[in-house]
Amino acid sequence: MANMIENLKSIKEKALAEILMISDKKTLNEIKVKYLGKQGELTAILRGMRDVASEDRPKVGALVNEVRSAIEGQISAKEEKFAEEELAHALASQKVDITEPSKFVKRGAIHAIPMITDKLIDICVDMGFTVVDGPEVETDYYNFEAMNIPKNHPSRDMQDSFYVTENILLRTQTSAVQSRELETRKPPFKIISPGKTYRNDSDSTHSPVFHQCEGLVVDENVSMADLKIMLAEMMKRLYGQGTQVRFRPSFFPFTEPSIEVDVSCPNCHGEGCKTCKGTGFLEILGAGVVNPRVLEIAGIDSKKYTGFAFGMGIERTSMVLNSIPDLRTMFKNDIRFLNQLK
Ligand code: DAH
pLDDT at 154 > cutoff 70 = yes
Q: Which atom of ligand 1 is nearest to the CA of 147?
A: 1
Give me the pLDDT at residue 52, please: 81
Mutate to test the pocket of ligand 1, among 148, 175, 213 (most ligand atoms within 8 A of CB): 175
Model confidence band, residue 159 (pLDDT cutoffs 50, 70, 90)? confident
Name the DSSP letter for residue 37: S
What angle is formed at CA 338 by the lines to CA 333 and CA 342, rounded to 5 degrees? Answer: 145
Q: Report the share of the chain in percent with pLDDT over 90.
A: 58
Is 211 exposed, middle or buried, given 0-12, 13-18 or 19+ CB atoms closer than 10 A?
A: buried
Q: 129 in ligand 1 pocket by Cβ < 6 Å? A: no
Give me the pLDDT at residue 196, please: 98
Lowest-confidence region among 42-46, 116-120, 224-228: 42-46
Give me the pLDDT at residue 192, please: 98
Q: How many angstroms is it from 287 CA to the middle of ligand 1?
A: 6
When pLDDT is averaged across residues 159-180 and rounded to a whole number, the result is 94
When pLDDT is averaged across residues 16-34 and rounded to a whole number, the result is 89
pLDDT at 339 > cutoff 80 = yes
When pLDDT is averaged across residues 197-212 and rounded to a whole number, the result is 92
Question: Within 10 Å of residue 42's Cβ, how many Cβ atoms?
Answer: 21
pLDDT at 4 > cutoff 90 = no
Q: Which residues contact 192 (CB under 8 A, 6 or more apart)?
A: 120, 121, 124, 129, 130, 131, 132, 213, 214, 215, 216
Give me the pLDDT at residue 1, please: 67
Comparing CA positions, the residue from 177, 202, 182 lying closest to residue 297 is 182
When pLDDT is averaged across residues 101-130 and rounded to a whole number, the result is 92
pTM of the model: 0.71
Give, using CA atoms, the residue closest to atom 8 of ligand 1. Answer: 311
Give, using CA atoms, the residue closest to atom 7 of ligand 1. Answer: 286
Could you read off the pLDDT of 247-295 as tens digits, one per residue? 999 999 999 999 999 999 988 998 999 888 899 999 999 999 999 999 9
When pLDDT is averaged across residues 22-44 and rounded to a whole number, the result is 88
